[in-house]
Each structure stands twice: as C-alpha cells, then as structure tokens.
Amino acid sequence: MPTPKIFVDACFGKETPYTPVWMMRQAGRYLPEYMAVRAQAGNFLNLCHNPEMACEVTLQPIDIVGVDAAILFSDILVIPDEMGMDLSFVKGEGPKFSDPITNESDIDKLIGGEEAASKLTYVYDTIKLIKTKLAEDKALIGFTGSPWTLATYMIEGQGTKTYNICKKMMYSNPELLHKILAKVTEVVKLYMEKQIQSGIDVVQIFDSWAAAIEPNKYDEFSWKYMVEIAEYLKEKYPQTPIIMFPKGVPAFLDKVYGNFDVFGVDWSTPMELAREKLGDKYVLQGNMEPCRLYSKEATTEAVEDIQSVMQGKRHIFNLGHGILPDVPVEHAKHFINECHRVSKK
Ligand code: 1CP
C-alpha cells in the first residue's frame, strides 16, 4: 500500500487527522536559504532551468516551515518563453517580453501544442528529481497560469496595473484575444499532462489576474478555458486533484462550474460566502489575508476564524494570495503550526 498523502485526501474531501496547509509563493524571498540558492544561480531564470537548484528550493518550505505540500519551483511565464517569446527578468522591475503580441501573424509565429510543451524538459526533470527526495506522505503541487493570466503578459509585454492593451483587444478585437487564449490552452493541456506523467500529485491553475475582467465577461475570456484544461486532465487522470484559483472574483461565485476538485478562495472573498455558494460541490482552499503574517496575533485570529467557518471539513488552509518577501520566517512557521493546532482531531 502506498503511504497516504493527507493533502491529496483533503483535495478529494476525505476525512484527515488535521487540515493540511501550504502557502502560495512559499518557496521564495522570505527564506534566507532561498536567497542563497538564487544568488548561486545568478538569476531567476537560471534557477528555473536548473533541476538540482529548483528541487532544493522546492523542498525548503517543507523542511523549514513544515507545510504539508511542496509546490514545484518554476514560473508561469516559462510557458510563453518556450512558445518563442523572449522572456527576461529585469532586476527590480519583474518579467519582460521584448516582442509582445499585437496581431494575427504574431500568434501564428508562436510555437504551439506538443512542440512547445516538449521544450519544457527542465520542468519535467525537476519534478522527477523532487519525487526522489520528497517524503512519501507529502504531496507535490504542479501548476500553470490560466490562459488569460498568461495572455496578459504576452500582450502587455510585462506586468500591468490597467490591462489597457489586453482590454482594448478584448472589446475591439475579441477574436484575436480568443485566438491567443485557444493557442495557450492547447499548450497548457499538454504541459500539465506532462507534469502529471513526470510525477506531480496535484494541479493548481493560477488565474492571478481574474479580477481584471468584468464579471459578465469572466467566463468567456478566462473561466471556460480553465474548465477546458481541467476537463481534459480529469478525463485522463481522475486520480490527480485539480485546484482552480481565480483571484478576486466574488461576483462570479454563483456561476462557477466545471469538473475540478478544489476552489481556491482569495483573501477578498469571505470564506462564509464561498462555503455557502460552493462548499457542497468543491473543497475550499484558503484564505488568510497574507499581510496578517506580519503579526502572530492577527494570524492566530484569522486561523481561528477560518476554522470556525470550515470546521475541518472539505477544507485546505492557505493564504488568500502569495506570501510577501519581508515576512519573518518565524511568523510563517507560526501560521502553519496554528493551522495544525486548531484543526487537529
Ligand atoms: O527570486 C526572485 O526575485 C523572483 C521572484 C519570483 C519567484 C520566487 C518570480 C518572478 N517567480 C517566482 C516563483 C513562482 N512564480 C512560483 C514558485 C512556487 C511557489 O509558489 O513557491 C509560482 C507558483 C509562481 C507563479 C507566478 N508567477 C504567478 C501566479 C501566482 C501569483 O502569485 O499570483 C505570477 C502572476 C507570476 C509572474 C511573476 N513571476 C515573477 C514575478 C515577480 C511575477 C509577478 C509580476 C507581476 O506582478 O506582474
């Protein structure tokens, strides 16, 4: 019998001895051990491309803060990079693509489908290496950005506050945006399939920029593509749980549909509301406001509140978005311990 993984059981809504917990962006700059490996790598993309180093930073939060699942160390933007867009990380400014997509011939030039997914070998090698080292009772989460979130970077060329270039396309040339989204969706399906074949236990689809889309258009431009990916994977790999994380869409909760297992609740959505609307159909993950990690008292208060709503049923603890780089490691550990303490049966 293989050792059970509490995290995977919880994703399927099974009873577990306590509620498992992990933190979005848990492998990152708040850990001095991460900074040391990153310095050794020279730059962020080298770190993503090097399976030994990526494996090391993936495992750090398991050993240092005691989370129940590791998340593969990589970035969502390696996908457009391997589709032929030239990605770089400019110090202090974040990701940049030198030639953003503006027209149909730019889309036609992108490498698609199997060819693009096959170029991400360093990710698959990293997964295989992690699986040789990760304790058997811990889960490994693989991930992708949603087609919409990826497209925002491919069209804007970088992070954006206004999304004006993608939204201009959304309202004035929606067919062009759909063409990008469809091409990215095909790559993501095969990419996630290869992550599963390489050994990941759980899939998370990050739609970090969901809130940029008006609620009436959210299904058309983002959710339906996420559901298409989930349905493709579920049909072939029903034993691999899928977590959907659309950030900041409380107005869409009534319309959520699709074949997946866990709905990631962001910190702006009250857990009660998510439980009322979705709790019977999906396991819920979340949702402490990440800045509460600056105070141990504020952390304990939120963990107790979330526990009183979810009562250890059909729930996975997490933050409502990523941990910030200046959070003391001690406080991150406190969050994990408190989640385990309040939910222990
Ligand atoms: O070391 C550094 O300075 C680079 C910072 C960094 C890190 C640690 C980037 C650049 N990416 C990552 C790792 C990363 N990215 C992970 C690793 C696993 C973990 O969570 O521990 C994951 C899951 C991501 C996913 C990611 N990248 C998302 C979705 C998740 C989210 O936080 O919403 C997004 C939007 C990105 C784009 C990206 N990559 C890096 C930065 C600084 C950004 C955001 C830029 C922006 O704000 O637009």
Tokens 């899928």 belong to which residue?
242
- Cβ–Cβ under 8 Å, residues 152 and 212: yes
Q: How far is the CA of 16 from the centre of ligand 1 (A)?
A: 30
Domain boundaries, the chain: 6-343
Catalytic residue status for 275: no
- Taking every pair of Cα atoms in the chain, the longest distance, rounded to a whole number of angstroms, is 58
- Cβ–Cβ under 8 Å, residues 163 and 171: no
Q: How far is the CA of 344 from the centre of ligand 1 (A)?
A: 32
The catalytic residue among 9, 18, 25, 163 is: 25
- Which atom of ligand 1 has the smallest separation from the CA of 28? 8
Which of 230, 192, 248, 207 lies closest to 72 in space, CA to CA?
Answer: 192
Tens place of pLDDT per residue across the chain (345 aa) = 788 899 999 999 999 999 999 999 999 999 999 999 999 999 999 999 999 999 999 999 999 999 999 999 999 999 999 999 999 998 888 999 999 999 999 999 999 999 999 999 999 999 999 999 999 999 999 999 999 999 999 999 999 999 999 999 999 999 999 999 999 999 999 999 999 999 999 999 999 999 999 999 999 999 999 999 999 999 999 999 999 999 999 999 999 999 999 999 999 999 999 999 999 999 999 999 999 999 999 999 999 999 999 999 999 999 999 999 999 999 999 999 999 999 998
Which of 147, 171, 149 lies closest to 159 in space, CA to CA?
Answer: 149
Ligand 1 neighbourhood includes 249 CB (under 6 angstroms): no
Smallest CA separation from ligand 1 atom 24, residue = 75
DSSP bridge partners of 88: 96
For the whole model, what pTM was predicted? 0.97
Residue 191 tokens read as: 């990419």
Query: pLDDT at position 321, please?
Result: 96
Catalytic residue status for 314: no
Query: pLDDT at position 2, please?
Result: 81
Helices (H), 43-146: 44-49, 51-64, 78-82, 104-109, 113-118, 121-133
CATH number of 6-343: 3.20.20.210
